[in-house]
Amino acid sequence: MFEAHHHARMLADATRLTAFHDAMAEVIADGDRVLDAGTGTGILAAMASQLTAGTVVAVEYLEDTASFAEQALRASDLDRVEVVQGNAVQVDIGTPPDVVVSETIGSLGPEENIVGLTHALRQRYPGIRAFIPSRLRVLAEPVVSPEADALRASVMGAFTREQPGGMSFASVLPQAEHALGSQIITAKLTGATSAGPARPLVEYDLGATSEADFSRTLSFGDSPANAVHLYFEAPLSAAVTLSSHRTAAFTHWGHSYIVRPPHASTVTIGYRSADRRFTCRWERTAESDQPPTGRHGLDREV
Ligand SMILES: C[S@@+](CC[C@H](N)C(=O)[O-])C[C@H]1O[C@@H](n2cnc3c(N)ncnc32)[C@H](O)[C@@H]1O
């Protein structure tokens, strides 16, 4: 099934499309053969075809989506774009490409397998001159966020409230806090302020990096942070970097964050490509192993 709603959101994301357009204009030379790996509606392939007299190969593995792109490109008279249905890693595209553009960037970066995809393409076509994006970093910034406080108040309020039927969650409130802290929330962080420098979690050199998995433990000690903003930076070219940081132009990727439980001072953030998921696990240290009170405590009025 062609996911019209999903693709419409991406087409409405002018920040994303302008960034890719400007980067392609910088990187693609006239005559280049371009591979758009994961073409979706074909929008990036269409843009690329305006920048080169060479062929643009638009590869999409979903049958209905490839067919949608094919029809749209033909109706737009973009005949130098060749749509190929199949997995960009394996499908035969004839002559090797000079430039690969791939917008297979997940909510936090690697979840759509951009690392494995670009690495496999580099192995198959060693002569590729450039990948757009060329790198992908995931970072974590401690923040003080009213959005995180409001979310926590509403979630913990639900578990604290007296329930019809007499069931009480009082004994499992710490578990609820911990579970909330392990979930990645996507929203708009308009009111957040920085509570310390951003820390890099991982950086991929696309095409060269073979392994997307990582695990990193961050310590927050007595930081006032009530949340950690997780975001990516993707340099698309020398001049253009796409970012999902809360202060960058807003994109359809939104702003991701995790809520810090009141007693927690370290968090381990990891990514596993086998299940294409991030995991976040908060822990308390001996010094912070006290009843939750004060600024982030359960007794706090929000
Ligand atoms: C995030 S969408 C982006 C679509 C389009 N490039 C754009 O920028 O609007 C990624 C697309 O890549 C396709 N895709 C992901 N991995 C692929 C692969 N290995 N081979 C072919 N298509 C792939 C998905 O089905 C999806 O349509």
CA distance 49 to 80: 7
Flag whether 231 is in a domain.
Answer: yes
Q: Which residues contact 44 (CB under 8 A, 6 or more apart)?
A: 20, 24, 36, 101, 103
Q: 216 pLDDT exceeds 50? A: yes
Q: What percent of the chain has pLDDT over 90?
A: 91
Look at residues 103, 126, 151 and tell me which one is the last residue of a structural domain: 103
Residue-number span of the structural domain to which 251 is assigned: 136-296
Question: Which of 59, 79, 103 is a domain's end point?
Answer: 103
Residues 28 and 86 in one domain: yes
Does residue 89 line the site of ligand 1, with CB under 6 A? Answer: yes
The reply to whether 224 falls in a domain is yes
Q: What is the pLDDT of residue 286?
A: 57
Residues 257-264: what's their mean pLDDT? Answer: 93
Instruction: Check if the beta carbon of residue 224 is closer than 8 Å to that of residue 187.
Output: no
Pick from 90, 35, 39: which is nearest to 62 by CA? 39
Q: 74 with 188, same domain? A: no
214 falls within a domain? yes
Residue 79: pLDDT band with limits 50, 70, 90: confident
In a domain, 228, yes or no: yes
Same domain, 54 and 187: no
Show the tokens assigned to 105.
């960037």
- Report the pLDDT averaged over residues 258-270: 94
Tell me, in angstroms, the distance from the centre of ligand 1 to residue 88's CA: 9
268 touches ligand 1 (CB under 6 Å): no
Span 7-46, pLDDT tens digits:
999 999 999 999 999 999 999 999 999 999 999 999 999 9
Average pLDDT, the chain: 93
Total number of domains in the chain: 2
Residues 149 and 201 in one domain: yes
Whole-number Cα distances in Å, 176 to 155, 199, 221, 275, 289: 8, 27, 22, 24, 17
Instruction: Among 104, 107, 122, 251, name the best residue to mutate to test ligand 1's pocket (greatest count of ligand atoms within 8 A of Cβ).
Output: 104
- Same domain? For 167 and 278 the reply is yes
Confidence grade of residue 296 (pLDDT, cut at 50, 70, 90): very low
For residue 110, being part of any structural domain is answered with no
The vertex-110 CA angle with 237 and 113, nearest 5°, equals: 100
Ligand 1 atom nearest residue 88's Cα:
20
Residues 145 and 227 in one domain: yes
DSSP H or E segment with residue 73: helix 63-75
Residue 272 lies in a domain: yes
CA of 162 to the centre of ligand 1 (A): 47
- 234 beta partners: 242
CATH number at residue 150: 2.70.160.11
Looking at the CA of residue 7, tell me the nearest atom of ligand 1.
9
Is any ligand 1 atom within 6 A of the Cβ of residue 10? yes
Q: 52 to each of 97, 98, 148, 233, 240, how far by Cα in Å?
A: 12, 11, 46, 27, 20
Strand partners of residue 57: 35, 82
Whether residues 140 and 96 fall in one domain:
no
| Cβ atoms of 126 and 110 closer than 8 Å | no
Residue nearest to ligand 1 atom 4, measured at CA: 40
151 with 213, same domain: the answer is yes
44 Cβ closer than 6 Å to some ligand 1 atom: yes
Q: b/e map of 64-87 (b: 16 or more CB within 10 Å)?
A: ebbebbbebbeeeebebbbbbbee
CA of 133 to the centre of ligand 1 (A): 14
Query: Per the omega criterion (within 30 degrees of 0), is the bond before 133 cis?
Result: yes
Neighbouring C-beta atoms of residue 300, cutoff 10 Å: 15
Structure tokens at 32: 């280049």
Does residue 220 sit within a domain? yes
Q: Is the distance from the beta carbon of residue 39 to the nearest atom of ligand 1 less than 6 Å?
A: yes
Q: Report the nearest-CA residue for atom 24 of ligand 1.
A: 38
